[in-house]
């Protein structure tokens, strides 16, 4: 069975609020887990239709692995579109939002969008603080292991504009006012498994989520 081609499962996300960014160094949440560069993307529930494109590519990735008929897919599939109210009701930024994690084994490309709409590369991971507003290029990948489902690789992330910092992000200027020099404190994270795959999975009439 042919996996979905990399082009068919790659997409640029809608704007999201950054949470728990680990873009400078790879991070493992639990001992023994592989360290990854990662970001959690927070999307407003009231605009859930904006996630339809991401759900489409997730479906294509699943079809590429498990076949075109969703009725024949495994019963329990990991859903990457998580409910912030249900899972993290007491974590700042999560209530009222859908959260989706994206990860990478390699440092993702970092970009800044200027006020005039032009874009530039950057190496300054501090721009991508928890609360900043970004878009990302992600690639959906399906997996068939002890847990079966679909997730997203993080290819690149682009900061669109500043946002209100949320709890797990700290900026000294919030306490001490504007800082004139360019120094800033340090904060604390695939290959595209389908990149070499051939063929494009056909999308069926029903999705997993």
Q: In this predicted model, what pLDDT tens digit does every residue of 180-197 receive, in sequence order? A: 654 434 433 344 444 333
User: Of 172, 187, 135, whose CA–CA distance to 22 is shortest?
Assistant: 187
Q: Which residue has the higher pLDDT, 75 or 158?
A: 158
- The pLDDT of residue 167: 76
Domains and CATH numbers, the chain: 6-29+36-161 (2.40.50.140)
Tell me if residue 107 falls in helix, strand or coil: coil
**Phi and psi at residue 207, in whole multiples of 5°?**
-105, 165
Q: Are 10 and 137 in contact (CB under 8 A)?
A: yes
pLDDT tens profile 4-53: 555 579 999 999 999 999 999 999 988 888 999 999 999 999 988 899 99
Rounded Cα distance between 36 and 17, Å, is: 20
pLDDT tens profile 40-99: 999 999 988 899 999 999 999 999 999 999 999 998 999 999 999 999 999 999 999 999
The two beta strands, 109-113 and 119-121, are antiparallel
User: Of 97, 65, 63, 69, whose CA–CA distance to 83 is shortest?
Assistant: 97
- The pLDDT of residue 44: 96
pLDDT tens profile 110-131: 999 999 999 999 999 999 999 9
Does residue 169 carry a pLDDT above 70? Answer: no
- The pLDDT of residue 7: 53
**Mean pLDDT value across residues 96-105:** 97
Q: Are 126 and 187 in contact (CB under 8 A)?
A: yes
What are the angstrom distances between the C-alpha of 14 and each of 50, 100, 102, 128, 132?
A: 7, 12, 14, 16, 14
- The pLDDT of residue 5: 53
- The pLDDT of residue 29: 82
- The pLDDT of residue 30: 84
The three-state (H, E, C) secondary structure of 158-205, written as one string: EEEECCCCCCCCCCCHHHHCCCCCCCCCCCCCCCCCCCCCCCCCCCCC
Q: Are 61 and 142 in contact (CB under 8 A)?
A: yes
Q: Which residue has the higher pLDDT, 161 or 75?
A: 161
Does an H or E element contain 54, and which? Answer: helix 52-66
- The pLDDT of residue 45: 95
Does residue 108 carry a pLDDT above 70? Answer: yes
């Amino acid at each position: 069975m042919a996996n979905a081609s990399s082009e068919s499962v790659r997409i640029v996300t809608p704007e999201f609020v950054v949470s728990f960014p680990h873009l400078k160094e790879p991070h493992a949440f639990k001992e023994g887990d592989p360290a990854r560069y990662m970001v959690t993307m927070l999307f407003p529930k009231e605009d859930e239709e904006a996630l339809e494109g991401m759900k489409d590519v997730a479906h294509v990735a699943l079809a590429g692995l498990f076949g075109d008929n969703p009725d024949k897919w495994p019963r329990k599939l990991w859903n990457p579109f998580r409910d912030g109210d249900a899972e993290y009701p007491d974590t700042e930024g999560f209530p009222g939002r859908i959260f989706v994690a994206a990860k990478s084994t390699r440092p993702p490309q970092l970009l800044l969008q200027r006020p005039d709409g032009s874009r530039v590369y950057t190496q300054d991971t501090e721009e991508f603080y928890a609360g900043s507003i970004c878009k990302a290029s992600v690639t959906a990948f399906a997996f068939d292991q002890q847990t079966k489902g679909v997730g997203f690789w993080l290819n690149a992330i682009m900061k669109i504009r500043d946002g209100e910092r949320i709890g797990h992000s700290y900026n000294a200027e919030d306490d001490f006012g504007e800082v004139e020099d360019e120094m800033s404190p340090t904060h604390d994270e695939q290959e595209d498994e389908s990149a070499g795959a051939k063929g494009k999975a056909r999308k069926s009439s029903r999705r997993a989520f």
